[in-house]
């Protein structure tokens, strides 16, 4: 979690919200204020489509990349369509929240090197063992030059990812930013969960937001501030008491839960009026949240 909560009077608007399930045909994206349609039901069956998704993602050497990078790039392309033609992509940033993106590729890289010999290892896979690859690869694929950052804190990493994007827009460093949550559930992770006696619901893909500075007089939902604290959720900042609050509480599968936050936010904004607060709560590690306000 970040050390100092973000507070601004600048209108950093939530323009669009989207999600991509690898078993679906295309990302689902709506304008802020509309609910996000439900994705496919049941377990993912995208195995036969993986190579097509990799090629379409625009990521260099996609077969060496983490699947999470492919999901993030696919969703980024759909969100960018809502900025329109002629947008200067050198002024757009990408803020990613992802905890699991390096698990499979790092495991495969190390196991092959240790068991089969390092001369058989695909050297092109090495950069994908670095957590920031899940942001830099989609940024390169789409020509985004504003910034590319990653937060790694599972459910608690979503709010800092939004905060980074909002700060960069409010300061004028970029005109718009994508916030993408992306996770993958690999065989090595499933084995670890089962060893612990747990069986998570199979879930992976990407979900996220398009943020940009609102024009003069433009109405819509804006990110007013972030909040955080240790232990149980405490009082909200001055002026926000009594505002409707929705909590997402962490379980053993906190990373996978993070994927649900953008869709939940879409539902909240579609049903709310005025101000709302969305909090991520970990009973052991603390909490953080987003404070949003409807303007115009």
Span 148-159, pLDDT tens digits: 999 988 899 999
Between residues 117 and 78, which one has the greater pLDDT?
78
Structure tokens at 256: 């996978």
Task: Say what the pLDDT of residue 128 is.
Answer: 72
Asked if 113 and 121 touch (Cβ cutoff 8 Å), the reply is yes
Each residue's pLDDT tens digit, 150-205: 998 889 999 999 999 999 999 999 999 999 999 887 777 777 767 777 666 556 88
Listing DSSP states for 76-97 in one string gives: HHHHHGGG-TT--GGGEEEEEE
Task: Say what the pLDDT of residue 263 is.
Answer: 92
| Helix, strand or coil, per DSSP, at residue 221 | strand
**Average pLDDT, stretch 106-129?**
75
H or E element in which residue 291 lies = strand 286-295
Asked if 164 and 83 touch (Cβ cutoff 8 Å), the reply is no
- Put simply, whether the predicted model's pTM sits higher than 0.85 gets the answer yes
Indicate if the pLDDT at residue 139 is higher than 90. yes
Rg over alpha carbons for the chain, rounded to the nearest Å, is 19
Chain center to CA of 156: 11
Structure tokens at 89: 């992509």
Each residue's pLDDT tens digit, 203-242: 688 999 999 988 776 779 999 998 888 767 777 888 898 8
**What's the mean pLDDT when you consider all of the chain?**
84
Task: Say what the pLDDT of residue 277 is.
Answer: 95
Model confidence band, residue 261 (pLDDT cutoffs 50, 70, 90)? very high
Q: What are phi and psi of 141, to 5 degrees?
A: -60, -35
Between residues 1 and 13, which one has the greater pLDDT?
13
Indicate if the pLDDT at residue 3 is higher than 50. no
Structure tokens at 131: 């957590």
**Average pLDDT, stretch 235-251?**
88
**CA distance readout (Å), 135 to 54, 73, 141, 179, 181:** 16, 9, 10, 10, 10
Each residue's pLDDT tens digit, 13-49: 999 999 998 888 889 999 999 999 887 654 455 566 7
Task: Say what the pLDDT of residue 223 is.
Answer: 93
**Average pLDDT, stretch 268-290?**
92
Closest CA to 176 of 290, 12, 292: 12
Indicate if the pLDDT at residue 254 is higher than 90. no
Domain boundaries, the chain: 13-215
Q: Which residues of 133-161 are buried (b: 16+ CB within 10 A; e: fewer)?
A: bbbbbbbbbbebbbbbbbbbbbbbbbbbb
What is the assigned CATH class of domain 13-215?
A: alpha beta
Asked if 213 and 169 touch (Cβ cutoff 8 Å), the reply is yes
């Amino acid at each position: 979690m970040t050390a100092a909560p973000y507070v601004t009077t600048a209108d950093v608007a939530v323009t669009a919200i989207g999600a991509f399930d690898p078993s679906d045909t295309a990302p689902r994206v709506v304008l802020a204020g509309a609910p996000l349609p439900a994705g496919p039901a049941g377990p993912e069956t995208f195995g036969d489509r993986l190579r097509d998704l990799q090629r379409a993602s625009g990521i260099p050497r996609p077969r060496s990349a983490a699947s999470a990078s492919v999901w993030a790039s696919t969703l980024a392309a759909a969100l960018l369509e809502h900025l329109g033609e002629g947008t200067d992509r050198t002024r757009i940033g990408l803020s990613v929240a992802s905890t699991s993106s390096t698990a499979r590729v790092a495991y495969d890289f190390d196991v092959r090197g240790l068991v089969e010999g390092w001369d058989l290892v695909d050297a092109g896979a090495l950069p994908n063992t670095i957590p920031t690859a899940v942001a830099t690869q989609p940024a390169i694929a789409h020509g985004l030059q504003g910034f590319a950052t990653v937060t790694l804190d599972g459910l608690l990493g979503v709010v800092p990812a939004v905060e980074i994007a909002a700060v960069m827009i409010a300061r004028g460093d970029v005109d718009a930013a994508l916030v993408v949550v992306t996770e993958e559930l690999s065989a090595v992770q499933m084995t670890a969960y089962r060893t612990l006696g747990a069986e998570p619901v199979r879930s992976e893909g990407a979900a996220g937001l398009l943020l940009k500075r609102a024009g003069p007089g433009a109405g819509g939902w804006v990110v007013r501030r972030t909040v955080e604290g240790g232990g149980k959720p405490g009082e909200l900042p001055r002026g926000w008491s009594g505002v409707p609050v929705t909590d997402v509480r962490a379980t053993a599968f906190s990373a996978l839960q993070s994927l649900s936050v953008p869709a939940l936010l879409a539902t909240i904004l579609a049903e709310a009026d005025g101000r709302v607060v969305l909090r991520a709560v970990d009973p052991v590690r603390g909490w953080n949240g987003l404070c949003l306000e409807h303007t115009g």
